[in-house]
Structure 1
C-alpha cells in the first residue's frame, strides 16, 4: 500500500470531528514532526455525522493541545466522504460504533484502507474504547488525551519499526 517515497495517509474518525479525532490528528502530527518523519505522513480527521460540519475544535481540546505545546492547531469539522476510503491507508475509529460504520462502508466500497480501533494500540488494553467526552468536563477530555496520546505513540513506533526492517 505505502512505499518508502509515498506518504502514509492516516485518518482519525469520531462522531462530530470536534473532540477526539482532531485531537488525535494534532497529536500524531506532533509526534511525527518530533521524530523528523512528518513529511512521510498525511494526517487528517473527519466525522461520521454531519451535525458539526464547519465547527472549530472543542475549547477543552484546544486548551489541552496548547498545554502540551501544540500551538495554533486550526481545524474545521468535516464529514467523512467516499473519497477518503480510496485515499487513506489507515482509518481509525474511536469506539465500536465508528468501527462498525467504517468497516461497513469500507467493505461496500471495496476499500483497501485498514479500519482500526485506535485504542487497539493503547498499552492499557483495558481502555480500548475512547469515549466521547462532549458532555464531560475537562477531566474527561484529559482522559481522552491520555488514551489518544498513548495509542498514537505506539502506532507510530510500530509503523516506523516495521518500515525500518
Structure 2
C-alpha cells in the first residue's frame, strides 16, 4: 500500500483537486490524503474547485486539514504544488528528505515546478488548473506503477 499526501497552501483548491482526481482513477494499492501548509481545519473545497470536479464527474467530499507531523509520518510520498511548499516542509520536517517532491518534479519537470494557484480566480482559471493537475496525475500514476 502506497500512501500519498498532496500539499498546497490552504487545502481548498489544488491539493484537494489532485487528491480527488487521483482517487477517481481507482488505482489499487493507493491511499490518498491532502493538507495545507497554512490551512484552516474544516473548510470545504472552494466553490469553483467543487464545480470543476462536479463538471468532470469526480466524486469529492473534502474538509481542509493543516499539515502536521502525523500526516508527514503517514505519507510514503509527499507531493507539493509549489517549490516553496516543498521548501517549507523540508525546513520544518528535515526527515522528509527523499520523500517530498513538487508534483511537477515527481513527474519529470524540473524547470517550472509550480502548479498555478487558482485561489480567488474565476472558473476558467480553476478549469485550467484542473486540466494541468489531471495531466500531472496521469504522469504520476505511470511513475508510481513503474516503481512497484
Fold shared by both chains (TM-score > 0.5): yes
SS in 1 for 2:38: coil
- 1:34-89 CA distance string (max 9 Å, x none): xxx33x11100001013x32110111111111111113x11100101111221101
Q: 1:102 aligns with which of 58, 76, 89?
A: 89
> In the TM superposition, what is the alpha-carbon distance from 1:138 to its structure 2 partner?
0.9
Tell me the residue number matched to 1:3.
Answer: none
Say whether 1:42 aligns with 2:31. Answer: yes
Assess if the C-alpha contact under 8 Å between 1:122 and 1:151 holds in 2.
yes
Say whether 1:63 aligns with 2:48. Answer: no
Which segments of structure 1 move beyond 4 Å, counting only runs of 4 or more?
A: 121-127
Assess if the C-alpha contact under 8 Å between 1:122 and 1:154 holds in 2.
yes
Task: Count how many residue pairs are aligned between Structure 1 and Structure 2.
Answer: 148
Instruction: Find the structure with the greater CA-based Rg.
Output: 1
RMSD over aligned Cα atoms: 1.9
Tell me the residue number matched to 1:146.
Answer: 131
Assess if the C-alpha contact under 8 Å between 1:95 and 1:130 holds in 2.
yes
Tell me the distance in 1 between the aligned counterparts of 2:68 and 2:41. Answer: 12
TM-score (norm 1): 0.82
